[in-house]
Amino acid sequence: MTILTDKTYLITGASGNVGRAVAHAFARAGANLALVDMNMDALHALIADLGGDVARFRPFVADLGDAHAIDDLLSQIGMLDGLVHTVGGFAMGDPVHAGNVDVFDRMMTLNARIVYLLAGKVAKHMIGQGAKGSISIMLARSGGKGAKNQAAYVASKAAATRIMESMALELKEYGIRVNGVSPSIIDTPQNRASMPSADPNNWVSPAQIADLMVFLATNPAMTGANIEMSAWS
């Protein structure tokens, strides 16, 4: 399957559980990859696992919370056909009435501000090149409603969802599609360790998310969608 041959995609969090799966899925689809993470050694290991083609798979270390770092990253990448953003985080918090805003600020920065900053700059970069492509963002099903002691997290994911939907409307005229993927619990070693009594058969695998990301990158009819994912049989 080489449906993305000669296309270049930026994948964030590339050495993470979901990021690695996305990288493999897009590589199988024939795409060139700009792989971004905070750990260069992990990126080199991923590229070796992908077959070691350094012409197709390029590693970049960048602070995605820094506007200047993103500008520098995009200038190094050059031509770009799309983004798959997998970076995010979860933290429990206090009840809202406790008045502790530290976790709120952290979650909003990680899950919403970076989406706003990165996706916006990628879109501007693509518009400047006349590129028609796609931006796909990892969201979360839990962003759809409140949860006890998780107000900061669910609010940040809800904000990211509204950013995605707004960008889809803003970029339609440029031929750039924007979609979100909202899985339930993801089957990762970290989640298995933190929830040893849970049944991971009811969780979503990184490979399933990656396959959906490829679908979103290649389906010209999809924009503004927030696709919720549960366990597949």
CATH dotted code for 8-229: 3.40.50.720
pLDDT for 194: 82
Question: Is residue 23's pLDDT more than 60?
Answer: yes
Structure tokens at 96: 């809202």
Cα angle, residue 73 at apex, residues 153 and 159 outer, rounded to 5°: 20
Q: Tens digits of per-residue pLDDT, 7-19?
A: 999 999 999 999 9
List Cα–Cα distances, 126 to 3, 48, 60, 67, 173, in angstroms.
20, 28, 19, 16, 13
Structure confidence by residue, pLDDT tens digits, 126-161: 999 999 999 999 999 888 888 998 999 999 999 999
Q: How confident is the model at residue 193 (pLDDT cuts 50, 70, 90)?
A: confident
Q: What average pLDDT is seen over the chain?
A: 94
pTM score, whole prediction: 0.94
* DSSP state letter for 16: S
pLDDT digits (tens, 9 = 90+) for 46-91: 999 999 999 999 999 999 999 999 999 999 999 999 999 999 988 8
pLDDT band at 231 (very low <50, low <70, confident <90, very high): low
SS3 category, 146: coil
Other beta carbons less than 10 A from residue 149's beta carbon = 13
Q: Under a CB-based contact definition with an 8 Å cutoff, are residues 161 and 208 in contact?
A: no
In this predicted structure, the answer to whether residue 2 has a pLDDT above a threshold of 80 is: no
DSSP assignment letter at 183: E
Dig out the tokens for 7 from the structure: 């296309």
pLDDT score of 233: 43
pLDDT value of residue 232 = 53
